[in-house]
């Protein structure tokens, strides 16, 4: 069975987290909610509805969720042309694909956002499949997105590694029984990622690429837990 390399996109392969923070912060402000940016930052990686519940509380007024999400989407959309892939991101995906890994993107981004992210990444030739939050009933940190992504390529948890930048990524991977790798380029501290279950942590895609020979994505490593 092929090895599967699963990747989050926002904050992992593309430098977009800060833009999401600004867009959500402004959308919330326009809706009358004053949420500090550090709280918004830690919620990035959750699907929109879950993000709002996390920030506003499960007992808060949810009648304006659609309006808030729409405001975020409109604000974030103004940044699409300025999205930039992290150094080494495309090379990392192509190196893994060339080494026999099936590369699958696992993201909470909506279709329009994903198109912009893939355009910035410019590595479609290395990507086997893409799984979004719209494909499952529950997004990260539930294991559903990981399990769905594996099903798309006929992969198994013991032959897969997941790479992400948020605690939600780490928790989703661990719940799916997949080894997870954390990247610091999303802005969270190393301790947050390791406590959430990261087996290894690197600075960014370029750092992970430089250490492929010794980390969880080394040849023959997947499935050897």
Residue 225 has pLDDT above 90, yes or no: no
Q: What is the pLDDT of residue 222?
A: 57
Kindly tell me if the per-residue pLDDT of 224 is higher than 60: no
pTM: 0.94
Q: Which residues of 181-215 are buried (b: 16+ CB within 10 A; e: fewer)?
A: bbbbbbbbeeebbeebbbbbbbebbbbbbeebeeb
Distance of CA 36 to the CA centre of its chain: 22
Domains, the chain: 4-16+83-210 (3.40.50.1000), 17-78 (1.10.150)
How confident is the model over 163-190, as pLDDT tens digits?
A: 999 999 999 999 999 999 999 999 999 9
Structure tokens of 173? 């991977």
Q: Alpha-carbon distance 162 to 198, whole Å? A: 9
């Amino acid at each position: 069975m092929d090895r599967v390399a699963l990747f989050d996109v926002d904050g992992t392969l593309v430098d977009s987290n800060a833009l999401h923070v600004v867009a959500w912060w402004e959308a919330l402000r326009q809706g009358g909610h004053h949420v500090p940016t550090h709280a918004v930052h830690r919620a990035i990686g959750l699907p929109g509805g879950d993000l709002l519940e996390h920030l506003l509380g499960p007992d808060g007024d949810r009648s304006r969720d659609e309006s808030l999400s729409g405001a975020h989407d409109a604000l974030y959309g103004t940044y699409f042309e300025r999205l930039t892939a992290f150094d080494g991101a495309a090379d990392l995906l192509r190196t893994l694909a060339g080494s026999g890994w099936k590369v699958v993107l696992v993201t909470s981004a909506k279709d329009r956002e994903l198109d912009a992210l893939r355009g910035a990444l410019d590595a479609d030739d290395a990507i086997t499949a893409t799984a979004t939050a719209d494909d499952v009933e529950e997004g990260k940190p539930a294991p559903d997105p990981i399990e769905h992504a594996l099903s798309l390529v006929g992969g198994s948890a013991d032959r897969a590694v997941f790479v992400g930048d948020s605690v939600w990524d780490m928790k989703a991977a661990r719940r799916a029984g997949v080894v997870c790798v954390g990247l610091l380029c999303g802005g969270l501290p190393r301790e947050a990622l390791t406590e959430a279950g990261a087996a290894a942590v690197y600075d960014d895609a370029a750092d992970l690429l430089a250490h492929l020979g010794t980390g969880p994505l080394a040849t023959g490593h997947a499935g050897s837990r």
